[in-house]
Structure 1
Amino acid sequence: MTRTVNVPDAADRIRAAFADAGVTGRLHALDIDSGTQLGVDADQLVCTASVHKLCLLVALHDRAAAGDLDLTEQAECPPDGRTPGPTGLAAMLDVARMSLRDLAYLMMAVSDNAAADLLLARVGLDAVNRTTARLGLDATRAVHTFGAMLASVKEDAGPAGAQALADPHVVARLRALDPARANRSTPRDMTRLLRAVWRDEACLPEHGAAIRRVMGLQVWPHRLASGFPFDDVLVAGKTGSLPTLRNEVGVVEYPDGGRYAVAVFTRTAHTAATLPAADAVIGTAARIAVDALRSRQRDVPAAPTRVSDDLPARSTAPGRGAGRP
């Protein structure tokens, strides 16, 4: 049971914020407990980039709950053949060995590509897709590893390498930015996934708690968390970035018990790697959406005005994030 928020100008304000920041944005926000929702192009297919690491994390715990793997199992990461990236194991030089659950921490906290692909090698793309299909995320699909995604960017950029990514014509041909050929989802699918995790409907409660914990340890404060700069409001999330693309999905929790899943996906015509306004608008848009949901909750505690999505019944299990993405 869900109801769609009709707070005057909320969607228009979100669209205006996207325009002011120079991005095209898609958003869905969902009250985890009541099902009240607000969307801006929420069913548009988007490239998930590193946001898809959340799907991998849920699949990892799904397989662990089924007894197919042990989260304390050790994995070795030699330097040769390691998936590149600027953080975590991807940036390290020596042989590393750690548990699957510690790899999951690095994958989520600092978006470590090498850790993610080590987990994918153990879990499998098919298992990730089986998990999202089981949860009814029909628009969500993993089609490649993170190393393959980065390799396609390098190949599409051509012999000029990273310098070519300053050219909008080069960026336009990147397969990694085409939802038909890359890991993909929709904002609505991502908030459904977050809702299932926070209500212990994605996997067993002990595994749901582990997922929520690690999402709360993400270190990036410049996107979703920037919209909620309060010590008593908790934000747990996962970012995703590629040339011209900035995403984040996460859950915002208020001290009064309100819990809100938010997914924001943006693209910009600017090829600069550093665009503070494009990062910050993710937090701005999320704050407008959550404020609208909270306003609706205060003003209209009546029965739902629209039934959709066939969302499951409320769980009483706690789901508290802790940290700033």
Structure 2
Amino acid sequence: MSVAITGRGAPDFESLFRAAGVTGWMYAADIDTGHEVGHGPDEPLPTASMFKVPLLVALCRQADAGLLDLTGRVTVPAGVRSTGPTGISAMLDDVTISLRDMAYLMIALSDNTSADVLLERVGFDAVNATMDAFGLTGTRVVQGAGEINESMSRDTGHGWPYVDPDDIARLSALDPARANRSTPREMARLFGLIWRDEAASEPSCAWMRSVLNRQVWPHRLASGFPYDDVAVSGKTGTIPTLRCESGVVEYPDGGRYAVSVFTRSFSTALNQPRADAVIGTAARMAVDHLRR
């Protein structure tokens, strides 16, 4: 059973999420002390595009082991694309690019085609074995981005982003038993490993941090920390009714906090500013609690 981690003065996350029209789960921890706060932190949940972070870690570990060269170049023909609005997925011509730059597109722009090409190189088994090695046994990658989109088209008969309430129960992409999955605690732990140089070699972890810091989406986790001297790095995920983001918030005094927030909205509408913003608000409340 997933329960809240509470303490004296812990935030009322339940009321916060409900007011935004969502059900929410979250976990935050001080990367250096281990102090934590959470709300349903061990709930198995679909990760949507956040599966790209375990893939990034496994990619770097294979590069560290000499199993692949991140500077090696690959050509993606124009006719070979996973559906998506950004990166190579949105391009019309053949693209020749290094594996390292594909990883940047996968994280910073959430490019689905880059993710699927890299996943083919790394392999599902390697990604999941990497998570097992870290004790993140609730984190699994079983689908590529293209497979996720194809499953939604198959399950609804018309695909997304436009879905009806009746479609939601049919979406296997929202079922953690069948989809890519993790928990708020495990996603935050994975980010903690990257920030402590434990996920891969020190140079690889430094590079992963730099890529995660370049994510272009400011409307979720980063919206809770609108300050020039606070750095927010992370990776979002979105499929119908599911909005999530995991990342790290760094303060100028050296405080570092791994945060993961998942939400499921009551509405199937594509644009829901409150549902996006509550991710940043919940993260800010959690970090403020930890800093006190």
| Superposition TM-score, scaled by structure 2 size | 0.97
Q: Distance in 2 between matches of 1:174 and 1:166?
A: 10
* Structure 1 match to 2:115: 116
Q: Which runs of 5+ in 1 are unaligned?
A: 296-325
CA distance in 2, matches of 1:8, 1:96: 53
Which digits, 9 at most, give the CA deviation of each residue in 1:192-211, with x for residues without a partner? 11111100111110000010
String of CA shifts for 1:184-240, please: whole Å, max 9, x gaps: 000010111111110011111000001000000000000000000000000000000
**Larger radius of gyration between Structure 1 and Structure 2:** 1
Mapped to 2, the partners of 1:88 and 1:187 lie a distance apart of: 27
Correspondence for 1:225 among 222, 238, 245: 222
Q: Structure 2 residue aligned with 1:264, among 257, 261, 265?
A: 261
* Distance (whole Å) between structure 1 residues aligned to residue 285 and residue 119 of structure 2: 35
Check conservation: 1:222, 1:279, Cα contact below 8 A.
yes
- 1:113-152 paired onto structure 2 within 5 Å: 113-152=112-151
Tell whether the 8 Å contact from 1:168 to 1:269 is kept in structure 2 after alignment: no
Q: Post-superposition, which runs of at least 4 consecutive aligned residues in structure 1 deviate over 2 A?
A: 160-163
Within the candidate set 264, 281, 284, 1:287 is matched to: 284
What SS does the corresponding residue of 2:141 show, helix, strand or coil? coil
Distance in 2, matches of 1:284 and 1:150, equals 29
- What residue is the counterpart of 1:185 in the other structure? 182
- 1:41-76 deviation digits (Å, cap 9, x = unpaired): 000000000011000000000100011001101011
Aligned to 1:62: 61
8 Å CA contact retained: 2:149, 2:159? no
- How far does residue 144 in structure 1 lie from its aligned partner after superposition? 1.1
TM-superposed CA distance for 1:5, in Å, is 5.7
Amino acid at match of 1:270: S
Q: 2:192 aligns with which of 173, 192, 195?
A: 195
Q: 1: CA distance between counterparts of 2:272 and 2:224?
A: 16
DSSP 3-state at the match of 2:119: helix
Q: Which residue of 1 aligns with 2:28?
A: 29
Q: Quick one: structure 1 residues 38 and 9, their matched pair in 2 at CA, closer, same or farther if it must change by over 3 Å?
A: closer
- Which residue identity does 1:254 align to in structure 2? Y
2: CA distance between counterparts of 1:179 and 1:128? 17
* Structure 2 counterparts to residues 202-221 of structure 1, below 5 A: 202-221=199-218
The 3 A distance-change label for structure 1 pair 268 and 132 is same
- Which stretch of the first structure deviates more once superposed, 188-197 or 251-260? 188-197
Structure 2: how far apart are the matches of 1:43 and 1:231? 32
Q: 2:108–2:211: 8 Å Cα contact kept in structure 1?
A: yes
By how many angstroms is 1:161 displaced? Answer: 4.3
Q: Which residue of 1 aligns with 2:72?
A: 73
CA distance in 2 between counterparts of 1:36 and 1:115 reads 36
Q: Which amino acid aligns with 2:82?
A: T
> Residue 27 of structure 2 aligns to a residue in which SS?
strand
Q: Deviations over 1:275-315 (max 9, x none)?
A: 000000000000000000000xxxxxxxxxxxxxxxxxxxx
Q: Return 5+ residue gaps in structure 2 as ranges.
A: none
Tell me how far apart the structure 1 counterparts of residues 214 and 8 of structure 2 sit (CA, whole Å): 32
RMSD: 1.1
Q: Find the residue that maps to 2:9 and give its secondary structure.
A: coil
The alignment covers a number of residue pairs equal to: 288
Secondary structure of the corresponding residue to residue 226 of structure 1: helix
Q: Contact (CA 8 Å) 2:27, 2:184: kept in 1 or not?
A: yes
| CA distance in 2: counterparts of 1:170 and 1:34, whole angstroms | 43
Give the corresponding residue for 1:317.
none
Offset, 1:112: 0.3
1:91-102 paired onto structure 2 within 5 Å: 91-102=90-101
Partners of 2:159 and 2:47 in 1: CA distance: 23
What amino acid sits opposite 1:132 in the alignment? M
**Whole-angstrom distance in 1 between the partners of 2:253 and 2:71:** 36
1:225-264, aligned counterparts within 5 Å? 225-264=222-261
| Contact 1:5–1:293, Cα closer than 8 Å, also in 2 | no
Whichever residue aligns with residue 8 of structure 2, its letter is V
What is the distance in 1 between the residues matched to 2:18 and 2:221?
17
Instruction: Give the equivalent residue in structure 2 for 1:103.
Output: 102
Task: Show the counterpart of 1:8.
Answer: 9
Amino acid at match of 1:75: V
